Structure formats: C-alpha cells, structure tokens
Structure 1
Amino acid sequence: MRVGKRKIIIIGDRVLIRPDDSAEKSPAGLYLPPTVREKEDVWGGVVVEVGPGLPLSDPNSVEEEPWKTASDTVRYIPPQAETGDYALFLKKASVEINVEENKYLIVPQAAILVIIRDEIAT
C-alpha cells in the first residue's frame, strides 16, 4: 500500500487497520477525551492492507538439513481478513504507527475477534 512516497508492506499474518474515528464521539456527537477511548479493550477499524499469511513448509521435503536447499516457491496460509473488511480487534495486541500524518494499527490475525464484510451480490 502506498501512502504518499512511502510503501507499507505488511509481513506474515498481520493486518493494517485504519481505526474507526466515529468511536471518538458519543452518540450525542460530543468528542470523548483520549483517556476514555484508551480504556476500551476492543477497537474497530477498516482493513486497508493484509500480509501474505503464515509461511507453510513443504510437506514433500523430508531432509535432515532443510536450510541447505533453497526453495523459490513459498506457500502461505492466507489470513481471513480482506482489504475493505471492518474488523473488531483487541487493542492491547495492536501496534500504532503514523505514516504521513495518518494513523494506522498493525494487528496480528489472532487478535481479530470478528470481521464484518459487505457481500456483493453477483
């Protein structure tokens, strides 16, 4: 994903999420102080980038020293999250980054509790 002149590459089974800003307001439209928001254990946001997943070893390769042979083909177990999904995740497992004045959270797949996906009828 490109942000300005920078490219963000997500590694492994991690997901890049843009946090939901609507949670910073109360239902009446009042802005909540950051201390109230930070006390919440579960946050939500939109998935903007997904890593390739967990690398999978080749089951046909039964060698005593597998590091001696190089394999060009790497297989992954893909994450369930997709770009555009809305995810609810555990805040304490996330890492906050700021890129070009945009706030993002890097969240491991295991910390995502639920994914809300808009299904498009085809």
Structure 2
Amino acid sequence: MSLVIEEKDLEKFIMIGDRVLIKPKHPKNKTKSGLYLPPTVQENEKTQSGYIVKVGPGYPIPSITDESEPWERPKNEAKYIPLQVNVGDLAIYLAKSGFEIEFKKEKYIILPHASILMIIRDEELLK
C-alpha cells in the first residue's frame, strides 16, 4: 500500500536527514526466453534500481560550541555529514527498506541512505 500525495510540485518535497527519494526504474517484465513475469515477481525482488530525485542534507551531528563570552547567545545551527549520493544517480537498493508514495500517478520510494547498496554515476548525463 502506498501513500498518495496530492501536491502539485515535486520541488516542494524536502527530504529529512539521510533520506533519499527514488523514482524506480521500470523493471523488465519479460525473461530472456520471452516469458512474461507477473507484477508480484518484480515486487518480491530483494534489490531494485531507480534514479535519485531528491537527497536529504545528511547525517546530523551535534554542534560544537566554544564558550567565547557568557553573554552571547549560543548558535544552534545544524551541521550535517553529507550523503554520498547525488540527484541523477542510478541506485541499486534493498527493496524492503523503502516506503512507497504515489505522486502524479507515478510511484516513488523514500529510502534511508543505508539501504542503498551501490550507485552508478554517469557524469555525461549531468553536463
């Protein structure tokens, strides 16, 4: 079961922490010998692939404050360790770790960064 989101613009989506938004790549629905596979076979695969659409800021780390003056207000700016993935990368990920949403009749997966096994980055696509 997936959550249907009625928003109009994908740019308004903000990923939190180490989460990424993936648009699943359409899997093959035929074997090499020509047999058609039912959708349940594709859904039960342990790994799937998809393109990264949005990336969260990363893993939060506590801010280190050095006490300069006692009357100054502390600056609690969040700091993050950035994620290794970039928008546009093709990710191979563990299928059971994600949460499925539907946006404009298309399926997307919200996934923690730790569930991504490998990425394929094509620098030519980004130019």
39, 46, 49: which one aligns with 2:51 = 46
Shift of 1:27: 4.8
Q: Kindly report the root-mean-square deviation, in angstroms, between the aligned alpha carbons of the 2 structures.
A: 2.4
Aligned mates of 1:93, 1:35 — CA distance in 2: 17
Can you list the C-alpha shifts for 1:78-107, whole angstroms capped at 9, x where unaligned? 111100000000011000000121210001
Size of the aligned set, in residue pairs, is: 112
Residue 31 of structure 1 deviates from its aligned partner by: 4.9
- Give 5+ residue unaligned stretches, structure 1: 63-68
Q: 1:17 aligns with which of 19, 22, 33?
A: 22
CA pair 76-25 structure 1, distance change in 2 beyond 3 A: same
Task: State yes or no: 1:26 paired with 2:33.
Answer: no
Task: Give the partner amino acid of 1:52.
Answer: P
Q: 75, 83, 88: which one pairs with 2:87?
A: 83
The answer to whether the Cα contact below 8 Å between 2:93 and 2:117 also exists between their aligned partners in 1 is yes
Instruction: Provide the residue aligned with 1:37 in structure 2.
Output: 42
Structure 2 unaligned residues grouped into runs of 5+: 1-6, 68-73
Q: Does 1:58 align with 2:25?
A: no
TM-score scaled to structure 2, two decimals?
0.76
| Contact 2:25–2:51 (CA under 8 A) maintained in structure 1 | yes
Counting aligned pairs with the same residue, the percent is 45
> 1:8 — aligned with what?
13
Alignment check: 8 A CA contact 1:24 1:31 kept: no
Partner amino acid for 2:53?
A: V
Check conservation: 1:41, 1:92, Cα contact below 8 A. yes
TM-score, reference length from structure 1: 0.79
Distance (Å, rounded) in 1 between the aligned partners of 2:62 and 2:45: 38
- CA deviation map 1:24-44 (0-9, x unaligned): 422557653111111100010
Equivalent position SS for 1:32: coil
Where does residue 95 of structure 1 map in the other structure? 99
Moved over 4 A (4+): 27-31
Question: Which structure has the greater CA radius of gyration?
Answer: 2
